Structure 1
Amino acid sequence: MEIRSIDHVEMFVEDAEETAGQLCDSFGFTLAGRGGAGTGLRDCESVLLRQNDIALLLTTATHGDHRAAEYVKRHGDGVGVIGIGVDDAHSAFAEAVERGAVPTAPPEEFGPAGACVTFASVTGFGDVEHRFVSRDNPEGPFAPVIQETGPRESGGILKRVDHFAVCVPAGELNETVRRYWEVFGLSQTFEERIVVGSQAMDSKVVQNDSETVTFTVIEPDTTRASGQIDAFVESHGGAGVQHVAFLTDDITTAVRTSAERGVRFLTTPPSYYEMLPARLGQIGVPVDELSALHILADRDPSGIMLQIFTESTHPRRTLFWELIDRRGAHTFGSNNIQALYEAVERQQAAETARLV
């Protein structure tokens, strides 16, 4: 199968309207459509948000039989479906099942010839499905079951989904990566072991050939002290998406704009920025500006990467977001992982102190 892109991300949430309002207010998403019983959706209501090449579908169950109801009960709000753009959803589905994927929804076509959209789903990791999507018209409506509000708007600070960070229980990393290779044809492109104090974790990256579909899969090392990956798996109730990274081509503007809208980002101590010039050389953005905005920086053989992570507002402190600006770099900020996890530790410690 030829995997082309991330077509959309479907989140299962307790209140789709409330979540949509938060994402529009925080990151500038546009309300693009709604679906419910009147449009053909069964046992749920959905809100479609768009920004450039990002499509977020927020779904709330209206009946206990809908999969979103059980998902939210087990995990809280989170990513339940990752829509993967392919040339032919029928053949991609058949090929994936032949290679060992468990089918969850057979191919279903929506709309007339020339404007047809086909969905077909198989299991991914944990309770997350992968939905193959093929479209006669890539610029056409999301699907007839979503009543769209008008033509797509261009602009916005976020461009597309860059990658998903996936946490899996200890012992499942290699099997998850193997499955992505055997079933979906994704290749492992990167791996590393990360040690933060007494904690440790292992990660591997799988991607399609064009690097438009990327999963960073992380498992905890249970021979070391329990850490944030262990905490995610326990709080989330198994494997799941820890964060979604959105690509931007101007991270300083994106961070300022989002912060003005109320987004809270993880902070980084001044000592991190004191070492940047010696570690990276010329970055292209003044270090004082990076420090003021708490933006992390790293370099690989291809270029510079700038990134920042939001605080988690999830009641279970699981899901959060990343903004990433790739200036030639293809990797994932290995040298920033320790800074990230130390920042999360500070956030958790501050929250604990407020509760005491």
Structure 2
Amino acid sequence: MAAYLNRLHHISLYVSNVDKVAHELVSRFKFNVFAIRLTERVKQLAVRRGSAVFVVNERARGAQQRLNGHQSRVWSPVKATHHQQFEGLYGAPTHYPVDTVSNVCFEVSDVESSSTALRDQGCEFVLPPTQVYDDRGSVTFSVVRSVVGNVCHTLIDTSRYDGVFLPGFQQTADGSSDSYCPITHFDHITYACTRRSTPDITRWYEKNFGFQRFFIDRNEDVDEGYILNQDGIGLRLTAMDYWKCSESGVKVHFKDQKETDCKFVMAESLPEQGRNQVDTFLEEHRGAGVQHIGLYTEDIVSTAQTLTCAGVQFFSPPPTYYTEVGKQQEIVEAGHDPYALSQYGILLDTDVHADDINAPSQRYLLQVFTKPIFGEDTFFLELIERRGATGFGEGNIRALWRSVQAYMNGDQESERKNKQSRQP
């Protein structure tokens, strides 16, 4: 039996400097701080843009967390008020050595039954079903450990709560903003995975959460995934989505269906083409985890312009990308100006299928990657605008891959020169 997921509620970041990362998301990415939870030991800031919500948490320090005297692994329903000062509320207390994005929270209709079903299927729980409440109501949540590095999933039921966010959070004075930035929701989450781990990961999500495979390419091998293994690129991508899985038990009840259409992508490197940015992530992140998150925008050019003016840096493909005859024509036929896209490094990919031969340019997407937002070369964001296309820009993967790789190689070379210059 799969857990009944209703929607993606929020994504948690665990960082050493909450104020710095929250300021980055607000001042540069135009998120709004709308709620804060502050105790003597914990600081949590909730920021949002549209329905995309990040909770920025201080990374936990110190001994193993306890909840009302219970070790977190004990399976026993727990009740707590927001005044009780335990860390990792609504997430997994993490002692991770670097900044990380390690919790994806799903709203469910029944936390206890979903948690029991997952426990019976062998899932490991960091926190059993727990009720937290204040004067605005209560929420129940539990935290299950995934099979991807340090990633956990919080299952939460907020149906009996009418506060600003969650119990313990207070509304902030700057909870709204007039800045125009048409980001509406999370489009996809990409994991950087160790080699040959994808089959176990896909089976885990299929079995426990009812996810189903989403084929990036119609000719992709069901077992091997979408593979790029040439011209210096060694990459395996495997995608899944969770909202189409009603046959497995997932029930979705939302006014805006597209906001529930959040896909999960597993990326792993292939050894034949040498070291690449997935390997860099695994090394600097100290293991598998969330590599990037796609933010959906209704106007990528306007959004990229706004974010660039605010100081966001984007990866740029080689300039020849926009002057190639085929690509230039593809961009023009989709109604865009190659020069305007090139100003921000935005790539366009047309979704052409056999039944689209009469109007191949009507289904396309635009996308661009930001440079890493933490101190390490790990987590970054993606802007994506979809015009009928449901994939991930298969025609852009090589260009995106090379732009990221060039940045990584440049940083590594700069670091090598800096170390040499410091030597006596």
TM-score calculated relative to the size of structure 2: 0.76
Alpha-carbon RMSD = 2.3
Which of 106, 109, 114 is the equivalent residue of 1:92? 114
Residue aligned with 2:367, SS = strand
Which of 242, 245, 263 is the equivalent residue of 2:294? 245
Question: What percent identity do the matched residue pairs reach?
Answer: 25
Matches within 5 A, 1:39-188: 43-61=41-59, 63-65=61-63, 68=93, 70-71=95-96, 73=97, 76-111=98-133, 115-124=137-146, 125-136=148-159, 140-149=163-172, 153=176, 156-188=181-213
Give the Cα separation in 2 of the matches to 1:148 and 1:223: 52
Give the Cα separation in 2 of the matches to 1:147 and 1:180: 34
Give the Cα separation in 1 of the matches to 2:273 and 2:241: 29
Give the Cα separation in 2 of the matches to 1:328 and 1:251: 15
Whether 1:311 aligns to 2:336 is: no
Q: CA deviation at 1:181?
A: 0.3
Which of 247, 257, 265 is the equivalent residue of 1:216? 265
1:127–1:352 Cα change, 3 Å: closer
Which of 342, 350, 354 is the equivalent residue of 1:291? 342
- Alignment correspondent of 1:267: 316
Give the Cα separation in 2 of the matches to 1:296 and 1:325: 10
Q: CA deviation at 1:81?
A: 0.8
Structure 1: gaps spanning 5 or more residues: none
Deviations 1:243-293 (A, max 9, x none): 111110000000000000000000122221123144566213222211222
**Counterpart AA for 1:307:** Q
Give the Cα separation in 2 of the matches to 1:315 and 1:62: 18
TM-score calculated relative to the size of structure 1: 0.90
Checking the alignment, whether the CA contact within 8 Å between 2:15 and 2:58 is kept in structure 1 is yes
Residue aligned with 1:174, SS = helix
Q: CA deviation at 1:196?
A: 5.1
Deviations 1:14-69 (A, max 9, x none): 0111111111011111111211326xxxx422111122101111111464135655
Checking the alignment, whether the CA contact within 8 Å between 1:114 and 1:136 is kept in structure 2 is no
Q: CA deviation at 1:223?
A: 3.9
Checking the alignment, whether the CA contact within 8 Å between 1:304 and 1:327 is kept in structure 2 is yes
- Alignment correspondent of 1:327: 387
Q: CA deviation at 1:205?
A: 0.5
1:262–1:120 Cα change, 3 Å: same
- Which protein shows a greater Rg? 2
1:193–1:232 Cα change, 3 Å: same
Q: CA deviation at 1:99?
A: 2.4
Give the Cα separation in 2 of the matches to 1:44 and 1:224: 44
**Counterpart AA for 1:142:** F
Give the Cα separation in 1 of the matches to 2:161 and 2:388: 27
1:69–1:122 Cα change, 3 Å: closer
Which of 20, 24, 35 is the equivalent residue of 1:22? 24
Give the Cα separation in 2 of the matches to 1:146 and 1:260: 31
Checking the alignment, whether the CA contact within 8 Å between 1:13 and 1:68 is kept in structure 2 is no
Q: How many aligned positions are there?
A: 349
Whether 1:198 aligns to 2:232 is: yes
Give the Cα separation in 2 of the matches to 1:333 and 1:99: 35
Residue aligned with 1:350, SS = helix
Give the Cα separation in 1 of the matches to 2:94 and 2:210: 31
Give the Cα separation in 1 of the matches to 2:143 and 2:264: 18
Deviations 1:158-183 (A, max 9, x none): 11111111011112011001111011
Deviations 1:198-239 (A, max 9, x none): 341211111113462321001111244222212211221111
Deviates more, 1:204-213 or 1:340-349: 204-213
1:153–1:245 Cα change, 3 Å: same
Checking the alignment, whether the CA contact within 8 Å between 2:181 and 2:302 is kept in structure 1 is no
Residue aligned with 1:290, SS = helix
Residue aligned with 2:183, SS = coil
